[in-house]
Structure 1
């Protein structure tokens, strides 16, 4: 069963948001290269909220999410992100229905 989450980050200021974006971009490159169970990992900036980032993440299943959390690049992201942030809100999601990418195993 696919497993997802939405994470809302609030940066301290514009400089912190820019530094957070660089850290997120570096992490995303590693995710793209080496995480087949990560189906979607997208960083959004809400319209009119320049200090806020919202990540949408979708994994093949909960085990894929747990593997993601154990990756060195994710551990680095989790450790370094706090210096840029004033708040982090995480919402875990169980998929009920919808259109989503097919897994790499289904192709």
Structure 2
């Protein structure tokens, strides 16, 4: 069953938001090339809230998320993100069903 999370980040200011985006971009390079269990990992900007970013992450299962957390690119992101942020909030998600979900793919 799929496992996901949504994280809302609030950067200190516009300069910090740009630096945060670069840090996230660098992490995404490793995620794309080294994490087959990471199904979706997207950094979103929020209209009318220029300092806010929302990550949507979907993993094949909890173990894939834990493997993601162990990766050097993720560990670097987690260690360095705080310097750019006022706050962040994490919401973990357990998949029930949906189009494009891991359960939907498994049914094929």
Interval of TM-score (by shorter of Structure 1 and Structure 2): over 0.9
TM-score (norm 2): 0.93
Match in the other structure for 2:11: 11
What secondary structure does 1:50 align onto? Answer: strand
Match in the other structure for 1:63: 63
Question: Please, which runs of 5 or more residues in structure 1 have no aligned partner?
Answer: none
TM-score (norm 1): 0.94
- Native 8 Å contact 2:27 2:73 kept in 1: yes
Question: Please, which runs of 5 or more residues in structure 2 have no aligned partner?
Answer: none
Deviation (angstroms), 1:100: 1.7
Higher strand share: 2
Deviation (angstroms), 1:97: 1.3
Match in the other structure for 2:99: 99
Match in the other structure for 2:54: 54
